[in-house]
Each structure stands twice: as C-alpha cells, then as structure tokens.
Amino acid sequence: MTKPFVPFLALAGLLACGACAGPRRTVDPADAEATPNDPAEPVNRTVFAGNQYLDRNVLRPVATAYHDNVPEPARNGIHNFVTNLTEPRIMVNDLLQGNVTRALNTAGRFVINSTIGGAGFFDVAHSSLGLPHHDADFGQTLGVWGIGPGPVVELPLLGPSNLRDTIGRALGFATNPLVFIPGAAMAGISTAARPASALDDRERLLPATNALEAGSLDYYAALRSANEQRRARLVEEGRAGLVQRREPVPSVEIEVISVPPARE
C-alpha cells in the first residue's frame, strides 16, 4: 500500500466511528454562543496576541494596499482562480459526506471554469449556468458524521479553530487531489496559489474583522464565537446536502424608444 493513501484510510476510520455512533445529529449554530469549550484559553490568548501582532503589522496593511491599488476585476479574477483550485478538495468531501448532487455540481464547476472559464479566472459556471460555489472541508466532513468540535484551538498564523477542524485541516493538506498530479507546472501553481489565497481571504475579510474589532470589548472572544457559529452552520449545510442553485445572469437588451415631441 502506498503512503499517500494512509490519510484516506485514517479518515475512513474516523468516519466509520462517527457512523457507528448513531445517526447524524442536528446542531443549532446558536448553541455555539454557549459557554465556550476553551480549557487552554491562556495559551490560546498568547497565540492570539502573536497572530494579532502579525496581522496588524503585515497582513492587514498588505491586504489594505491590495484592495486600494488593485482594480476590482483583477481581484475578482484572482479570487475565482484560487477558488477554482479548491473545487477538487471540495468534491472529495462532498462524496465523503454522501452528497452526490453537491459533488456533481462541484465537478461541473471545476471542469467548466478550468476550460471555458480561462483556467478559473472567470466563474462561468455560476454566471452563465447557475452552478453556485459552496465550501466543504475535512473538518466539516467529520462534523457531518457526528464528531464534535472539541476544545478551542488558536492556530499560529491561521487563527481560531477547534480540535476537530485542526485534524481536518491536516488531513486536507495531506489528501488534496491536486498534490497527486505530477509535473512541475502543477506544483508551481499550487505553491503560488497559497499566498494568493491567503491575501484574497484577508482582503475579503477586512470589512468584517474591522467592524468586529471596533465593536467588541474582547476581540479574542468575539472571533472565537464568530468562528464557532460559522463552523456549526457549515456542518449543518453539509448534513442538508443541498445545492442552492441560482439562475444564471440574463443578458439584458435595452430597446431605445423614440418619443415624439409634445404638441405645443
């Protein structure tokens, strides 16, 4: 057995344990606002302070400069490109969650945007065919099959998370389908996409994080709560397995009507 398949077997074992525990449980995202499961809070706050120092002095200024100096169409193209590279990973998780319809939607998006979408720089699948993007990852997959989030973990450079999603993130890195595509070109694209994706994510979060920091007495607790609620909603979306299809944007034809002058 080759080593690249070991993470898949580990994930399969975890999913089997979750499946044996009983049916999928429904979790109200509002429950995430209850008493946080943060036994290592002093350590997490120390890591958070380091993350904030890096964000205030490097990440946020760079993201702000990117927003202010790069035209929106270019930023949207970069966002579409890095998002398209996540579709194979999302499709794998759709299948692991038993969401075949979602997996087909994701596969269609990847094929269409990678070809007629100009290597993913244009989201033709959504704008022309009404195939929406959705997120899915290994942490969500573990949650769909009944594995709880566990204690809060503040990850260096990556921010707030929990034990389940930290394990899921590691599995995601190890089992990304693009990693198994041979060739220096694919390796170079994947390597370059990581900082581009981080910059894109930070730029798009600027309004939300600026407002949250300005309006909260405890920014660490506010971010922790926001992340817990977001992850709970994502798990519920995976359990529902729905594709929120949208109508493609129609082309609008404007007919110019000549109006005769009013009679005097």
Phi, psi dihedral angles at 262 (to 5 degrees):
-65, 145
Residue 253 has pLDDT above 80, yes or no: no
Write down the pTM of the prediction.
0.80
- pLDDT-based confidence at residue 100 (cuts at 50, 70, 90): very high
| pLDDT for 34 | 61
Give the per-residue pLDDT at 177: 80
E-assigned strand segments in 84-177: 152-155, 159-162
How confident is the model over 120-142, as pLDDT tens digits?
Answer: 999 999 999 999 999 999 999 99
Out of 13-17, 50-54, 94-98, 148-152, which region has the weakest mean confidence (pLDDT)? 13-17
Q: Which range (36-45, 73-82, 151-160, 183-192) has the least confidence?
A: 183-192
Spatial distance between the Cα atoms of 39 and 50, rounded to a whole number of angstroms:
19
Q: Please, is 109 exposed, middle or buried when counting C-beta atoms within 10 Å of its C-beta (0-12, 13-18, 19+)? A: buried
pLDDT of residue 248: 54
pLDDT number for residue 20: 43
Instruction: Report which DSSP code applies to 151.
Output: S
Q: Is the pLDDT of residue 53 over 80?
A: yes
Domain layout of the chain by residue ranges:
36-240
pLDDT the model gives residue 24: 53
Q: What average pLDDT does range 205-221 have in this prediction?
A: 96
For position 21, what pLDDT does the model report?
43
Specify the pLDDT at position 22: 46
Mean pLDDT, range 216-239, rounded to an integer: 97
Whether residue 10 is predicted with pLDDT greater than 60 in this model: the reply is: no
The per-residue pLDDT of the chain, averaged, comes to 84
Q: Among positive and negative, which fits the CA dihedral 112, 118, 124, 126?
A: positive
Share of the chain residues as helix, strand and coil, in percent rounded to the nearest 5: 65, 5, 30
